[in-house]
Amino acid sequence: MIDIKLLRSQPETVKENIKKKFQFDKLGLVDEVLSLDVRNREIKIEVEALRAERNRSSKLVGGLMAKGNKEEAEKIKVAMADLGGKIDDLTREEKEHEEKIASLMMRIPNIIDPSVPIGRNDTENVELERFGEPVVPDFEIPYHADIMESFYGIDLDAARRVAGNGFYYLMGDIARLHSAVISYARDFMINRGFTYVVPPFMIRSAVVSGVMSFAEMDAMMYKIEGEDLYLIGTSEHSMIGKYIDTITDENTLPHILTSYSPCFRKEKGAHGIEERGVYRIHQFEKQEMIVICKPEDSMKWYDILWKNTVDLFRSLDIPVRTLECCSGDLADLKIKSCDVEAWSPRQKKYFEVGSCSNLGDAQARRLKIRADGGEGKYLVHTLNNTVAAPPRMLIAFLENNLNRDGSVCIPAALRPYMGGQELLVPKK
């Protein structure tokens, strides 16, 4: 959510930003907000004047009553009652305007960083850099679910009977590998100075509307029936919510955190051949990075965050690349974002395994997250990035560490979390 002061002073800048995101249907929101804002400020002036008049009249009544002039005092009291009614009517109108303005402002996208490439959708995202040599072996790489089944490591049929499509049972070596990756990712981030956190896995609607756009919420979040609670789609939601309506001492910034959580997503509109198996699912686990920092430091932390993910994947012998999200692919609250994509030898292409985002002060403005710098309070910047999100990460791991005989090599970094095993041998 942008600052309404920017919209008042530079409406054309806001409109140009909307055009860069190819959201032309939102251009009218700017003028609508400005019109409501003008009327709202007029109402505030009227209410202030009426209250001042009522205060003057109240003092006058007191003087008249002291002099015994009750008849004149009663006439003024009647007029004061009329003033009170006008004030009440205007106050209600003011509240309605403020609610409407807030609702419209939440639909206006954040101002993107000047470095963001302009494009309509994810087909126009820009590759930045590759890390590691992508290899296509001289033997066929099976589909990831088939690799897992060779270890008796997955049961999708039972999961469908229990919960429906988009769920899974992981078992044996594959389940252990899943947990090992999460534990390794946790320690990887702790060793880089991040504080480990396990957050609530449900959040209230006030937090949901503060951390994401309405479109994202509708596509992702599961609502708990009869409760003001939603299942989190990522721990970023509850981690940013931790700071709602707080003022942090500037000297304690930045707050750099790594959080573990299960994640629950509707995945509305998911389709295509790669939706089979465990590529796109309703439930998974993730290790996340969160940063709360001064505005002038957010781009520095943005680069640190995505590099952490690259380093983790390379430590597990997985080639990756970074892909900058173009303007049309940015969610409304983001000012800059890039995806980390892992190499798939089977598909002979890269696929997304993590996303790094700088949201500027958008979430902080919605949730009233501020810092006190001594000379005044200001909105902080918030950032997030995926460390590792199995089981999708397992797809990249299994494909890139698979041998011709179906066994899977365990990189040295992961062996302590796998009981010292260097090789997983299929059971069928």
Is residue 45 predicted with pLDDT exceeding 80?
yes
Local structure of 119: helix, strand or coil: coil
pLDDT recorded at residue 273: 39
What CA–CA distance (Å, rounded) separates 296 from 289? 19
Q: Are residues 128 and 77 in the same domain?
A: no
Is residue 313 predicted with pLDDT exceeding 50?
yes
Average pLDDT of 87-115? 93
pLDDT recorded at residue 268: 61
What CA–CA distance (Å, rounded) separates 263 from 287? 10
**Of the ranges 176-185, 199-208, 270-279, 352-361, which one carries the lowest mean pLDDT score?**
270-279
pLDDT recorded at residue 272: 45
DSSP structure string for 164-196: -TT--EE-HHHHHHHHHHHHHHHHHHHTTTPEE
Percent of the chain with pLDDT over 90: 81
What CA–CA distance (Å, rounded) separates 94 from 91? 5
Which CATH number do you get for residue 405?
3.30.930.10
Average pLDDT of 38-64? 85
Mean pLDDT, the chain, whole residue set = 93
Q: Tell me whether residue 142 is in a domain.
A: yes
Q: Are residues 190 and 321 in the same domain?
A: yes
Token pair of 28 as six digits: 């009218």
- Report CA 411 to chain centroid distance, whole Å: 32
Q: Are residues 47 and 157 in the same domain?
A: no
Residues 349, 382 contacting (CB under 8 angstroms):
no
Q: Which residues have CB under 8 Å from 6's CB, separation 6+?
A: 13, 14, 111
pLDDT-derived band of residue 269, with 50, 70 and 90 as boundaries? low
Residues 323-353 as b/e (b if ≥16 CB within 10 A, e otherwise) read bbbbbbbbbbbbbbbbbbbbbbbbeeebeeb
pTM over 0.75: yes
pLDDT recorded at residue 21: 97
Is residue 199 predicted with pLDDT exceeding 50?
yes
In angstroms, what CA-CA distances link 190 with 9, 183, 237, 362, 411?
Answer: 44, 11, 20, 27, 20
Q: Are residues 232 and 264 in the same domain?
A: yes
Q: Are residues 168 and 226 in the same domain?
A: yes
Is residue 41 predicted with pLDDT exceeding 80?
yes
**Final residue belonging to a domain, choices 40, 71, 105:** 105
**Residue whose token pair is 């009869």:** 226
Which CATH number do you get for residue 46?
1.10.287.40
287-310 residue pLDDT tens: 999 999 999 999 999 999 999 999
Q: Tell me whether residue 115 is in a domain.
A: no
Q: Tell me whether residue 196 is in a domain.
A: yes
Q: Are residues 355 and 268 in the same domain?
A: yes
pLDDT-derived band of residue 275, with 50, 70 and 90 as boundaries? low
Q: Are residues 220 and 265 in the same domain?
A: yes
What CA–CA distance (Å, rounded) separates 127 from 130? 8
In angstroms, what CA-CA distances link 18 with 1, 206, 345?
Answer: 13, 25, 38
CA angle 299, 300, 303 (to 5 degrees): 85
Is residue 274 predicted with pLDDT exceeding 70?
no
Q: Are residues 305 and 395 in the same domain?
A: yes
User: Other C-beta atoms within 10 Å of 301: how many?
Assistant: 21
What CA–CA distance (Å, rounded) separates 73 from 76? 5
What CA–CA distance (Å, rounded) separates 31 from 7? 9
What CA–CA distance (Å, rounded) separates 38 from 374? 33
Is residue 220 predicted with pLDDT exceeding 90?
no
pLDDT-derived band of residue 276, with 50, 70 and 90 as boundaries? low
Residues 250, 219 contacting (CB under 8 angstroms):
no
Average pLDDT of 334-347? 97
Domain extent, residue 210, equals 122-424
The structural domain count of the chain equals 2
Residues 397, 176 contacting (CB under 8 angstroms):
no
Is residue 149 predicted with pLDDT exceeding 60?
yes
Q: Are residues 50 and 169 in the same domain?
A: no
